[in-house]
Amino acid sequence: MERLVTQAHFARLIGVSRNTIVKNSKKGIRFKKAIVEKDGKVFIDIVDGILEWYGNADLRKDRGDHNAPELTAKKQADETILPVAESTAIDRHFTAMTRKVEYLKTTGQLMSADKFIREAFQMARTTRDNVLYAPQKASGEIKKMILDFTKRTFDTSDLSEASLDSVDTLTSDIRVFLTKLLTSELRELAEANIKGRV
């Protein structure tokens, strides 16, 4: 490990904020030999810094044991070293999960999140376009239904050119109505989806 570290790194090492280290180094309160300036930047020698930090602590302001952590080998071993069986089980589980992910990647069952988002967006856009195009596709069928109904209900000799134009107008009005209805429903669905995510 490098003996010279930044003030921020030193602060992380001893468990205090960077501002505390900067303030103490500027005032010269707790650091006498540990501060080293290189190329206009301030560094702290780790060994001298730790010795001076804990050696020059103002004990009148002692707020507990946070300034001098207890670093006994037994305590560290108890906290970090797992039993062999548990450690082996964790390692095997991790290896198995890694192999499973690699297998899923190679078989094409797993895709990146970016690719999924692009494909889902494209699928949603295509679905929306198809739903909004449905009234246009159905307009021919609607016209046929109206004409069939008219022929069954009225005498076919009574149908004039104006009547057929009226059927076209009615078909167009129904198509516009269905398009507006579907657009409104899709908008409400999108808004509900956005509210559900927030």
Which pLDDT value is given to residue 187? 84
Q: Which two tokens stand for residue 24?
A: 């103490």
Which pLDDT value is given to residue 22? 86
Task: Give the HSE-up count for residue 178: Cα atoms under 13 Å, Cβ half-sphere.
Answer: 16
Q: Which two tokens stand for residue 106?
A: 């190679």
CA–CA dist 65, 24 (Å, integer): 19
Per-residue pLDDT of the chain (198 residues; tens, 9 = 90+): 578 888 889 898 888 888 888 888 887 777 778 888 888 888 888 888 888 888 776 656 655 555 555 555 566 656 677 788 888 899 999 999 999 999 998 898 888 888 888 888 898 888 888 888 888 888 888 888 888 887 777 766 666 766 777 888 888 888 888 888 888 888 888 777 766 654
The three-class DSSP label of residue 35 is strand
Which pLDDT value is given to residue 51? 85
Note whether 60 and 78 are within 8 A (CB).
Answer: no
Note whether 110 and 101 are within 8 A (CB).
Answer: yes
Note whether 186 and 128 are within 8 A (CB).
Answer: yes
C-alpha dihedral sign at 11, 14, 20, 22: negative
Which pLDDT value is given to residue 198? 45
* Identity of residue 31: F
pTM: 0.38
b (16+ CB within 10 A) / e for 64-89: eeebeeeeeeeeeeeeeeeeeeeeee
